[in-house]
Chain A
Amino acid sequence: MLTRMTTDVDLATAVNLQSPSATPRASLDCPAWNVLPADVRAVLSRLRDTQGFDFLMDVTAVDWSAEKSPRFTVVWHLYSSTRHTYVRLAADCASNTEPAMPSATGLWPGANWHEREIFDMFGIKFDDHPDLRRILMWDAYPYFPLRKGFPLAGLPAELSDPDITAETGTGLISAPMAGGPFVATPGGPMSEAEPRAKDEAWNEQRAKPV
């Protein structure tokens, strides 16, 4: 049954105690708050220790596109195995060019890989992270693929192993089909939004990047 859940009073108190500037965040399901990056750790640990939110289910980020400021938002989803409810916290990164966020690895070791993935995909640095390396892409990969400016087709890059590059003389090339012939984009005029071949890397209008 999907209902817009009323904000739990205790929960709101717990969040506001640690972060007086916390504001409720629009949400279609669970209670959600916007908090300041500086308060994230305090709010997370209070929710865990006093409100029974024992699971850090997910950490992720959203890129609101280069034109927007703040551009990056990091989102945490906590689950309580006793209350059987979720809570969502979100914090905007202060800087659009050098985004950073406090790490939650001290509270949940499971945050380690989630934060590495966010660093890998969005380039958001997590302060006090014990081992902030790329996780899905290889270490020397130069781009942050889930940023909105990164084309679906990918961008040319060096291969992961210099030996192979030297031997073969090739590199990583963009996907020739730009992610397939049936690609849709959010918003915009219908001619743009409908699923069709849209080679984002290069096409008649746009020269192949060198």
Chain B
Amino acid sequence: MATDFSFPDTAAKTAAMPNEFESGKMSLSMGPSHPSTHGVLRIQFELDGEMVTKADPVVGYLHRGDEKIAENMTYNQFVPYTDRLDYIAPLANNMAYAIAVERLANLQVPPRCQAIRVITAEMARISSHLMGLGAYGIDVGAWTVFMYCFQEREKLYKLFEELTGARFTTSYTRIGGLQRDVPAGWTQQVDAFCDQFLPILDEILGLLSRNKIFLDRTTDIGVISRADAIAYGLTGPNLRGSGMAMDLRKDRPYSGYEQYEFDVPVGAQGDCYDRYLCRGEEMKQSVRILQQAVKNFPGGDWYAKDARKIFAPPKDKILTSMEELINNFMIVTEGPQMPAGEVYFEAENPKGVLGFYIVSKGGGVPWRLKIRSPSFCNLSILPKLCVGHLVSDVVSILGSLDFVMGECDR
């Protein structure tokens, strides 16, 4: 059956376009739905042959106005929106946001709550790096890695589901505590996961680390000098890959990170391969943290008990006591009551440093909430980084930066 397709607009557009070959340069738009741009990133290239001479990233395709939304919500209502920033590691975002608001309220959470948050954040880091590693493997032509990574990631997601009731959009933290305590036997399952994960991780990394094709695609590609990484505000494994040992978990410990022993891996060259190595090693360090946290898992409260007007009282109290009922009503309707002031808190997330700048005029709704997203900053180096590389190397560079557009565009 013959169908007559006609594309008048496309034809007219093409005819109207200036001849791009006249200057010897060609323009190429990569994305926003290109598989190697990991989401909706578009890069407008100017090419000389296959060599990139200019790169202009176009971001914003996933802009949902999260900061505007935050100005119209109570603090707790915004927790689910933090899931959708770095949606590969929602638990880490939940924690960063909760701590930022708790700093505003000058509120301390008990050790058990801190430990649970650390465990979830480190599990989120492993799951995020597994995702990044698997996708990177595909980008440079290694399918198997993806399968191995997703098998392990699935085990983590089962644990997330058991803890939070959701696999992806966890919304697990509350201001001053958590949605619920860990279920019985859950920490033992985390420990069991760690034990079986380490040998598998070695196996996964063994598929790539000395792989000739992988080495050819990543070594000396996308080299970021230490000075450049700092100047562009790169953070996380992208910064550490360039030889800068900056990790806020070490430098400015939050949520009790000072109790755990772990190392901060750094790269030597700052190329794609170094960033890959850093992520691989970080997963092992996360396992170390997990094992320590599970071993010394504190008892006691899992939410700040004295946080009246901030953390909702237990359900049985709400149903039986007038005082608690009123408290709960006020927290739900007016939001957790915060003092006026400004705070800026940054957490070391899998993708880099996630920051929240909160301006409060008091009450249950922030006046301004700014999200400093690591992916946004990490991508800002692309115009400099891509120039001089082949288009196929750009795929390798993008994969090694391990960004997520939900967070970049907010």
Interface residues on B, range: 35 or more
Contact B63 A60 (CB under 8 A): no
Q: Whole-angstrom distance between the alpha carbons of A137 and B63 in the complex?
A: 8
Asked whether any CB of chain A lies closer than 8 Å to the CB of B72, the reply is yes
| Residue from B103, B251, B362 within 8 A of A29 (CB atoms) | B103
Tell me the interface secondary structure of chain A in the complex.
Answer: loop
Known: A60-B370, A88-B344. A193 touches B72 (CB 8 A): no
**CB of B232 closer than 8 Å to a CB of A:** yes
Question: Are the C-beta atoms of A27 and B370 separated by less than 8 Å?
Answer: no
In the complex, whether B363 has a CB less than 8 A from a CB of chain A is: yes
Please state if B344 and A136 are interface contacts (CB–CB under 8 Å).
no
Contacts of B69 in A (CB 8 A): 152, 179
B332 contacts across to A, CB distance below 8 A: 195
Q: Is there contact, CB below 8 Å, between B230 and A136?
A: no
Total contacting residues, chain A, CB less than 8 A: 52
A136 and B364 CA atoms in complex are apart in Å by 28
> Are the C-beta atoms of B244 and A81 separated by less than 8 Å?
yes
B368 and A2 form a contact (CB under 8 A): no
Say yes or no: B63 contacts A136, CB within 8 Å: yes
Contact with A along B355-382 (1 / 0, CB 8 A): 1010101111111101010001101110
Cβ B361 vs Cβ A187 within 8 A: yes
* Contacting residues, chain B, for A86 (C-beta < 8 A): 344
- Does chain B have a CB within 8 A of A84? yes
Say whether B158 faces chain A, with CB atoms less than 8 Å apart. Answer: no
Which residues of A have CB within 8 Å of B359? 62
Tell me the residues in window 45-91 of chain A with beta carbons closer than 8 Å to chain B beta carbons. Answer: 54-58, 60, 62-63, 75, 77, 79, 81, 84, 86, 88
Q: Is A26 an interface residue (CB 8 A)?
A: yes
Q: Is A110 an interface residue (CB 8 A)?
A: yes
- Does A96 belong to the interface (CB within 8 Å)? no
A159 CB-CB contact with B under 8 Å = no
Tell me if B380 and A113 are in contact (CB < 8 A): yes
CB pair A179 B72 closer than 8 Å: yes
A27 vs B106: C-alpha distance in the bound complex, in angstroms? 12
Is the pair A193, B334 in contact by a Cβ cutoff of 8 Å? yes
* A-contact 0/1 string along B43-79, CB 8 Å cutoff: 0000000000000000110010101110111100100
Q: A2-B103, A109-B384, A110-B380 are in contact. Are A185 and B344 (CB under 8 A)?
A: no
CA separation between A206 and B34, bound complex, in Å?
43
- A116-144 interface (Cβ within 8 A of B): 117, 121, 134-138
The 7 closest A-B pairs by CB, nearest first: A110-B233, A136-B60, A186-B365, A110-B232, A194-B333, A58-B372, A113-B380
26 A-B pairs within 8 Å (CB atoms) are namely A2-B103, A28-B339, A57-B346, A57-B355, A58-B355, A62-B359, A75-B357, A88-B342, A108-B233, A109-B380, A110-B231, A135-B59, A135-B60, A146-B68, A182-B77, A183-B73, A184-B72, A184-B73, A184-B334, A185-B72, A186-B361, A186-B366, A187-B363, A190-B334, A193-B333, A193-B364
Q: Which residues of B contact A (CB under 8 A)?
A: 9, 13, 59-60, 63, 65, 67-69, 71-74, 77, 103-104, 106, 108, 230-234, 244, 246, 251-252, 332-335, 339, 341-346, 353, 355, 357, 359, 361-368, 370, 372, 376-377, 379-381, 384, 409-410
